[in-house]
Amino acid sequence: MSEDGLERRLSPMDAFFLYLEREEQPLHVGAVCVFERRMPFGKFVRTLESRLHLVPRYRQRVLFTPLHLGHPTWEVDPDFDIKNHVFRLRLPAPGTDEELRQLTGQVFTGVLDRNKPLWELYFVEGLEDNRTALIVKVHHCMVDGIAGIGLALVLLDIVPNAPKINKPRFRPTPLPDAKTLCVDALWDNAADALRHWSRWQRSFAAYARGFDLLDVARNIKRFAATMGHFLLPFTRMPFNVALNGERIVHWREYSFADARAIRTVIGGTVNDVILTALGTAARRLWQETQGSKRIPQTLRVLVPVNVRRETERAALGNHISLMPVELPLHPEGPVERLRATDVLMRQLKEARVAEAIALMFDVVQGTPAFVQALALGTVGHPIVQETAATFAAPIPPANLICTNVPGPQIPLYSCGHKLLAMYPALPVALEMGVNLAITSYDQKLFITFIGDGKAEGELERVAELFDVAFQELLEAAAVKQAQYVEITRRRHETATEATA
């Protein structure tokens, strides 16, 4: 444990995102935040710098242990300078949202410099309607979606005129030398092994608690069926391509009330509504690009799930599992597919598949750091690295990733300027050339379609088809609501006539 109360050594899952990163698949998350009015750059930087002590990880860099005797550690950067992390940009006139979108793709292209803390922030001026934008990049080894929202709440305010925070003096210490890193790693390995398996046993006990024997047998059977099916070959979509590292983004904004209306009238959750619209978009993209080829039965989607315990709600790093979803592309009607998606997701949640997968991941992550780094092609002879990178994971493990992180439903501010929009972003890797990131904020639903340059045309078309699918679900919900109102009116009239 470091002096700031954060874990000094990266967890196996946090380190995984460092080991897996390549030039063609940078593994940072991020967001684009748009604020009303022109924000003063100097005031913003001073405000941000005054709060960095609240998130000390932002002043720490990663150090790799020699010979990968242990996972990397977080060390305070003695050369930290906020000027190396905050950059001022200006859009050319007229500063449209389209130009901001293109700039965002350029910023998200490329890996972060590992010789400094792994985050960057781009302050964008010149946006039309006198607005200001912030483009944020943070390496996935630092945060997942939930931790990212938590950090945003530290850096943003819930009132326009927040009180000034006095920053303490920054007193960095020299970086540890190679000998210290090796000794610390050998010592930590023994302690971490005990903590790891103790935590795994507690997690398993928590997973099994509340199940009777029949529940356990049923859930094991459902989990085995899910994972067995997920290991079978699946149909690649047009956007499952080799990556070139260029990042392209499109985004959409919807009324959160509309998404809730669809959920209320037709069924399911807001996330089910999103998945159904995504499935409809993928189905129609297939029809447009593959002609008479038979439409696949399912779209394979990885859905990240937060598995934090109550005591870890404010924890940084990654505390996620993955829900493997075989999203139905049949029957043809979107309403019927929404109901089928609702049934599927309820079954996966009832069986607590995400928790079981987290337990499985924890077993794998108990292997030594050197073995994990070697298996993911981080160390060793170039031929060994290339071979390991090829067989480290199925390519791709799914068609795409779709992550939904709930955000605050109240307005937020920075330097007194209201946050108007918040578009999240996630990495693109392993030939999954199109991914979706969703968040909700201030009664709106923000969706980012992010992909690789090799899938640029498919990415844009998926976003367009998603729009159409969402509107179809909204119209279907309105029709059903009108039918319900009409049936209720007729029943009322019939009851009135019968008593007359």
Residues paired with 2 in a beta bridge: none
Residues 6+ apart with CB under 8 A from 9: 70, 71, 72, 73, 74, 188, 192
- In this predicted structure, the answer to whether residue 172 has a pLDDT above a threshold of 50 is yes
- In this predicted structure, the answer to whether residue 48 has a pLDDT above a threshold of 50 is yes
Q: What pLDDT, in 10s, does the model give residues 275-328?
A: 999 999 999 999 999 987 899 999 999 998 876 555 554 455 566 778 889 999
Residues 6+ apart with CB under 8 A from 203: 355, 358, 359, 362
The closest alpha carbon to 27, from 115, 122, 142, 105, belongs to 142
How much is the mean pLDDT over the chain?
83
Sign of CA dihedral 44, 50, 54, 57: positive
The closest alpha carbon to 430, from 366, 368, 377, 369, belongs to 377
Sign of CA dihedral 143, 110, 25, 326: positive
In whole angstroms, give the CA distance from residue 345 to residue 324: 10
Residues 6+ apart with CB under 8 A from 158: 408, 410, 411, 412, 413
pLDDT in the model for residue 225:
64
Cβ atoms 25, 242 nearer than 8 A: no
Q: Read off the pTM.
A: 0.86
Which of 190-199, 247-256, 419-428, 470-479 has the weakest average pLDDT? 190-199
Q: What pLDDT, in 10s, does the model give residues 62-84?
A: 999 888 888 899 999 999 999 99
262: tokens are 């669809």
Q: Which helix (H) or strand (E) holds 223?
A: helix 213-230
pLDDT in the model for residue 149:
55
Cβ atoms 15, 371 nearer than 8 A: no
